[in-house]
Structure 1
Amino acid sequence: MTDGQRKKVGNSFIAWRFFLVCFVMLAVFIALAARAAYIQIIEPDMAIDESNKRTLRVEALHAQRGMIFDRHGNELAVSVPVVSVYADPKALDKSLEKKVLKAARKQGENIELLQKDQAELDKRKNIVYQNDPRWRELADVLHDSQSEINQRLRDDTSRRYVYLKRQITPAVANYIANLDLTGIHLLDESKRYYPAGEVAAHVVGFTNIDGEGIEGIENLFDQALTGADGRRTVRKDARGREIEVLDERERVEPQDVTLSIDQRIQGIAYKALKSAVLSYKATSGSAMVVDVKTGEILAMVNSPSFNPNNLTNAAPHKRRNRAITDLFEPGSTVKPLAVLAGLEYGSIVSDEVIDTHPGWMRVGGRVVTDPRNNKEMSLREILKKSSNMGVAKIAQTLPKDYLVRFYQKAGFGEDTGTNMVGESSGLYRPDRRWSDFEIATLSYGYAVSVSTAQLARVYATLGSGGISRPLTILKQSEPMPGERIMQEHNVKAVVEMMESVFEKGGTAPNAKVDGYRVAGKTGTSKKAIAGGYGDEYVGYFAGVGPVSEPRLAVVVMVNEPGGDVYYGGAVSGPAFAEIMSGALRILNVAPDLENYATLEDQESNDV
């Protein structure tokens, strides 16, 4: 290279350009460093949020609702898998807009002008939507009108979550998935199913569409049955592969609930009660079966009932658990208590004879009367013929406070112990002033209102020999703790007297339980109305069996029977006999009537 060429190259180097390029590159590096420092040090949250949006996934670990069983493990409430359909109207609208703009671009239209003309854009989106036959198929398979589906999807396109249908079958869900509709999503859920249907509806209750307990056991043990969902937070790569588990919260498994109900006895009780209500054209009815040894409720039924799997026709009056909510004056079913009170106090003895002549008496300016003049009656005859005069005269031998407190001790005026939602404690005010006439009416079942459950508890106390136990709707491994409130020999004496109700001349000769000695008592009371009593009646039948060793207490109540037949022995007696007989056989309780008859024959031969 010549000197002239070297001089030309040297002169071609321009210093300021070199420094300018260096300065620009340095500035770029400084800007990048500053930006990196800003993102990572000063404001790192934004970058983290953007990263999390792309990589973090939160997976819900759903806890399926617990099951409800009867005492033998038969399902009373189960959860079955279903699918819900929901829509994202905003995503659908964006998809329709893309299709409109794509079509306009192919036609060579000005896209920017079309986007500015919102009315024209909406018009074209609706045309694209309506021309797609899949939306009509969606409406058909969901059994909804096309206009209703259109309203949910197109009226407000700013929404991101709209239910189209809850709890559809997996087959319908598969059909919808195959339609491949933009903005339509499927959500796995569960639906409550009740295998026993209307037979156990009032006990088990039901849930709403979101799985929350509304009535019965479903409501009472809602928290235990629900559990708690878990959550798992993971980081995934672009291919959806799990990279890291960031957080994991285990779900709280729900508890199953085992009831004291025996589904076999529940079915027998419901059938018998429903037949009685229909046969006598009654407004309603209730029945209960209680194990006197444990306090467990083996059956609790009401009529009318409802189908918990389809609440379309489940009117509020059908959903009410009348056995624990509805109150009535129990009538003559409490007369055994009045006799027991006299025996416990000592004012009478078991072979006492009460003079009821002339069949009526005036008490505190009012009249207590029997249908006929029975003259002198034994305690057994008083219960057999259900004499108001007999028990009223026994009540006159007792201090007022003693009889009132005796009824309270038996369970009137307090909850039975089931803790079921809506249970009433009855209407009984022992602390008020009682007139002589009120005490007389109290002895034969007026001036006090009780539920079927409360009366069942009283008779369970009689069946257990005087031990009062709270009732329970849950299966127990041990008997409920009890308290002796009556002497056993007095209770047994009264229970044996109550057998006479089934004899000729008693109030229920046609309600015998084949093969078993059963103690019972009929009851018929007028229904109270404003200012007095109306023309409607309530028919009761309550009893325990078998007498030789009581196992069950059964109470049947029929409310407002129609026609001329309304006495408890007639309207409730047959149902009582059917329930008691069926339940004792199911529990394999040995018949005792034959042994009793043989024993009587032996005693007569000895004489």
Structure 2
Amino acid sequence: MSARQAAKKHTSWRLYFVFMVILSLLSTIAWKVLDLQVINNETLQFQGDARTVRNDVIAAHRGNILDRNGQPLAISTPVQSLVLNPREILQYPEQWDRFAEALLSININPDVLRNRIQENAGREFMFIKRRIPPVEANQVLRHSFNGVWAEEEYKRFYPLGEVAVHVVGLANSDEVGQEGVELAYDDWLEGTPGSKQVLKDRNGSIISELRINQVAEPGNDLVLSIDSEIQFLAYKALKEEVTRRYANAGTAVVLNVETGEILAMVSQPSYNPNNRANLSQQLDGLKNRAIAEALEPGSTVKTFTVTAALESGLFDTESIIDTSPGYIRIDRSVIRDPVNYGESTLERILSKSSQVGASRIALAMGQEPMLDVLRRVGFGQSLGTGFPGESAGLLVNHNRWSDSEIATLAYGYGFQVSPLQLAQAYMVYANGGIYKPVSLLKIEDADNVPGIRVISEDIVASVTQMLESVVRPGGGGTGTRAYIPSHRVAGKTGTAWYYDVQRGGYDDENYISLFAGFAPVSNPKIVTVVTIHEPQGKEYGGGQVAAPVFANITAGALRILNVPPDIISNASESLSLEGLNSAASRPSLAGLSGGRQ
């Protein structure tokens, strides 16, 4: 055999060997494919289904809402939401009876859920019950049903319940703000959800966490100006009076004089945000009437009427206004006092809440001086709190004013204000004539709260002295039930006719009772406004219905704030512990009063 033939034979053998190796590899691959796709298909499919890599959402913690002392008003607590895969759970009918029993233990109707599953048979995700305590979720999870698992979430809880709900508001099941501060500051409170890659079994249980794709960022905490103790005190006092008087509604507001912070703001009726089963039937209770509802303030406006009279130069503290014979005819209307107060000073007109006296003052100076004062103290303007539904009230300015419109303006008809606006206006007097904004958020730097003088100190001091006579025992004023034995009070009653929107006129059988004032007069710390809507029974005046609630709330708030008494008392007179005769040195606030007493 030649060398060439030997080489050729060797090359053929090598090609044959390579061919056989390649054929063996192809046969092995073909067998593996056959094994995966046909022989062991079900086993492998089960194992693949049993371990799935998924991207899960990491729930973000919504920021807490706290009161000024750090007490929680709204918090988010960790909970679990039960979830099922409709497509998968339908493949295991043998587990349904046990599953139905477990559902009953968490108050879920199995038949209703079965219908939902069948309607969503093509889906892979459906909630069974959302945001429940882990102990309750475990009633189902401990059975390890196929196609059932739990998702980690948060649920909003409100520790003060109905007491603070009109301020705090509420968030929905997805923790998105729907009412109140929860809605107003939703962007601030809302967190940013994260994401993680996990390995799960067929029941949705996490076998292992593979990696964090994005870290969840919690929302920011929010500190309100509210004092939980004063809020509870105001709520309790208001609810008791509304219930006792069979009234339709009511509000109460307490302000910090120095800073304008809202220490308490309550409204009736109310509702419990932690129990929303019948929330759709409690729509009337959703409204924060203290800030979102406007009403005619009635005789409370006489404080501003007297202020305008003193500023006009037409009247002074010694001026005498003849209110005889106890009524006055203006245009086609007759305005009456309960009795003939005869010749009266401005102080007596405020103390007795004389409609005739206020009307004569208004007609003497015209509407412009009154409108000017009303604008300066904030009426007809937004409060700027950012609270959803905040009312700016309504302060009209007719092209032509009739005498009757001028007269009724003087005792609080023909325009509207919210109870919070009314409190802010009286805070001007408590601050010695300085107008300050109100705040729902805690103010850290009380020394730098902006303010602007809108009324002179002398006039504020004079009006404050008149308002103190409204409350002083034995003085014959309409507000003696607002008297507090330990602290000097300046304030004003009010009783306004209720305007029936459906009838398009005033209901002379239903009233809104009001009282507004501040204490202690020697060094004002708080302003309180109370309104009771449509009280039933023989007593309906502001001095009879709202004044006692004012006294209850104000006295309690002063105790909570540790404000020292400024009265060394005597049965019928109170002497100031400081500045007994220095009326001009006292900061002041004016009181509110309604149309009839």
TM-score normalised by the shorter chain: which range applies? 0.7 to 0.9
Pairing partner for 1:163 from 127, 135, 152? 127
2:66 paired with 1:69: yes
Q: Is the 8 A contact 1:286 1:303 kept in 2?
A: yes
User: 1:270 and 1:585 mapped to 2: Cα distance?
Assistant: 16
2:282 paired with 1:305: no
Q: Deviations over 1:285-319 (max 9, x none)?
A: 00000111111000000111111110223311011
2:156 paired with 1:192: yes
User: Residues 351 and 597 from structure 1, CA distance in 2 versus in 1: closer, same or farther, beyond 3 angstroms?
Assistant: same
| Structural mapping, 1:194-343, within 5 Å | 194-232=158-196, 248-314=213-279, 315-343=282-310
Q: Deviations over 1:435-481 (max 9, x none)?
A: 22111101101111111111111111111111111211110013431
Displacement of 1:233 in angstroms is: 5.9
2:433 paired with 1:466: yes
User: Residues 567 and 91 from structure 1, CA distance in 2 versus in 1: closer, same or farther, beyond 3 angstroms?
Assistant: same
**Could you say which residue in structure 1 is the equivalent of 2:42?**
none
Q: Deviations over 1:543-584 (max 9, x none)?
A: 111111111110000001112211111111110100111111
**Could you say which residue in structure 1 is the equivalent of 2:453?**
484
User: 2:199 and 2:239 mapped to 1: Cα distance?
Assistant: 60
| Structural mapping, 1:82-93, within 5 Å | 82-93=79-90
> Which 10-residue stretch deviates more, 57-66 or 570-579?
57-66
User: Residues 546 and 335 from structure 1, CA distance in 2 versus in 1: closer, same or farther, beyond 3 angstroms?
Assistant: same
**Could you say which residue in structure 1 is the equivalent of 2:312?**
345
| Structural mapping, 1:393-542, within 5 Å | 393-430=360-397, 432-479=399-446, 480-502=449-471, 503-504=473-474, 505-529=476-500, 530-534=503-507, 535-542=509-516
Q: Is the 8 A contact 2:156 2:175 kept in 1?
A: yes
User: Residues 555 and 228 from structure 1, CA distance in 2 versus in 1: closer, same or farther, beyond 3 angstroms?
Assistant: same
SS in 2 for 1:541: strand
**Could you say which residue in structure 2 is the equivalent of 1:111?**
none
User: Residues 165 and 432 from structure 1, CA distance in 2 versus in 1: closer, same or farther, beyond 3 angstroms?
Assistant: farther
Answer 1 or 2: which has greater helix percent: 1
User: 2:293 and 2:23 mapped to 1: Cα distance?
Assistant: 87
2:538 paired with 1:564: yes
User: 2:131 and 2:52 mapped to 1: Cα distance?
Assistant: 31
Q: Which has the larger radius of gyration?
A: 1
**Could you say which residue in structure 2 is the equivalent of 1:153?**
117
User: Residues 378 and 55 from structure 1, CA distance in 2 versus in 1: closer, same or farther, beyond 3 angstroms?
Assistant: same
Aligned residue identity for 1:481:
P
Pairing partner for 1:180 from 135, 144, 151? 144
SS in 1 for 2:76: strand
Number of residue pairs aligned between Structure 1 and Structure 2 = 539
* 5+ long unaligned stretches in structure 2: 27-47, 201-205, 582-597
Q: Is the 8 A contact 1:139 1:149 kept in 2?
A: no
Q: Deviations over 1:343-395 (max 9, x none)?
A: 12222112222122222223334333222221111111111100112122222
2:139 paired with 1:142: no
Displacement of 1:406 in angstroms is: 1.9
Aligned residue identity for 2:286:
R
Displacement of 1:601 in angstroms is: 14
**Could you say which residue in structure 2 is the equivalent of 1:121?**
none
User: Residues 242 and 557 from structure 1, CA distance in 2 versus in 1: closer, same or farther, beyond 3 angstroms?
Assistant: closer
SS in 2 for 1:84: strand
Q: Deviations over 1:323-353 (max 9, x none)?
A: 1122221111111110001112222112222
Q: Deviations over 1:38-74 (max 9, x none)?
A: xxxxxxxxxxxxx9x9997645443211111111111
**Could you say which residue in structure 2 is the equivalent of 1:376?**
343
User: 2:456 and 2:464 mapped to 1: Cα distance?
Assistant: 12
Q: Is the 8 A contact 1:405 1:430 kept in 2?
A: no
User: 2:109 and 2:10 mapped to 1: Cα distance?
Assistant: 80
User: Residues 460 and 86 from structure 1, CA distance in 2 versus in 1: closer, same or farther, beyond 3 angstroms?
Assistant: same
User: 1:425 and 1:520 mapped to 2: Cα distance?
Assistant: 23
RMSD between aligned alpha carbons?
3.3
Q: Is the 8 A contact 2:326 2:337 kept in 1?
A: yes
User: Residues 232 and 174 from structure 1, CA distance in 2 versus in 1: closer, same or farther, beyond 3 angstroms?
Assistant: closer
Using the size of structure 2 for normalisation, the TM-score is: 0.83
**Could you say which residue in structure 2 is the equivalent of 1:117?**
none
Pairing partner for 1:577 from 543, 546, 551? 551
User: 2:353 and 2:207 mapped to 1: Cα distance?
Assistant: 81
Q: Is the 8 A contact 1:339 1:494 kept in 2?
A: yes
> Which 10-residue stretch deviates more, 337-346 or 409-418?
409-418
User: 1:92 and 1:285 mapped to 2: Cα distance?
Assistant: 53
Displacement of 1:14 in angstroms is: 12
User: Residues 392 and 271 from structure 1, CA distance in 2 versus in 1: closer, same or farther, beyond 3 angstroms?
Assistant: same
Q: Is the 8 A contact 1:408 1:430 kept in 2?
A: no
User: 2:63 and 2:365 mapped to 1: Cα distance?
Assistant: 53
User: 1:353 and 1:162 mapped to 2: Cα distance?
Assistant: 78
User: 2:375 and 2:331 mapped to 1: Cα distance?
Assistant: 23
User: Residues 242 and 73 from structure 1, CA distance in 2 versus in 1: closer, same or farther, beyond 3 angstroms?
Assistant: closer
Pairing partner for 1:546 from 500, 505, 520? 520
**Could you say which residue in structure 1 is the equivalent of 2:32?**
none
Displacement of 1:532 in angstroms is: 2.5
Using the size of structure 1 for normalisation, the TM-score is: 0.82
Q: Is the 8 A contact 1:461 1:467 kept in 2?
A: yes
> Which 10-residue stretch deviates more, 284-293 or 137-146?
137-146
| Structural mapping, 1:20-99, within 5 Å | 58=55, 60-94=57-91, 96=92
**What percent identity do the matched residue pairs reach?**
40
SS in 2 for 1:311: coil
User: 1:597 and 1:324 mapped to 2: Cα distance?
Assistant: 35
User: Residues 600 and 205 from structure 1, CA distance in 2 versus in 1: closer, same or farther, beyond 3 angstroms?
Assistant: closer
Displacement of 1:142 in angstroms is: 2.1
Displacement of 1:255 in angstroms is: 0.8
Q: Is the 8 A contact 2:366 2:406 kept in 1?
A: no
Displacement of 1:16 in angstroms is: 8.8
* 5+ long unaligned stretches in structure 1: 31-50, 97-125
Aligned residue identity for 1:483:
I
Aligned residue identity for 2:62:
R
Q: Is the 8 A contact 1:152 1:164 kept in 2?
A: no
User: Residues 302 and 140 from structure 1, CA distance in 2 versus in 1: closer, same or farther, beyond 3 angstroms?
Assistant: same
User: Residues 599 and 235 from structure 1, CA distance in 2 versus in 1: closer, same or farther, beyond 3 angstroms?
Assistant: closer
